[in-house]
Amino acid sequence: MTRPIRIGVQLQPQHADYAQIRRTVAAIEELGADVL
């Protein structure tokens, strides 16, 4: 049985402000990551 490949991303937000985290999450979602 084959399964589709899923791409996940883990952020380390301790060195970023909220606006930077939002921009990063939006960019990752645009790229098509399955799990954030």
Q: Give, for all 36 residues of the chain, the pLDDT tens digit.
A: 799 999 898 888 888 999 999 999 999 999 999 988
CA distance linking residue 32 with residue 6, whole number of Å: 10
pLDDT at 11: 87
CA torsion sign for 25, 27, 33, 16 is: negative
pTM (whole model) above 0.75: no
CA distance linking residue 2 with residue 14, whole number of Å: 37
**Amino acid identity, residue 31?**
L
Task: Give 18's contacts (C-beta < 8 A, 6+ positions apart).
Answer: none
pLDDT at 13: 81
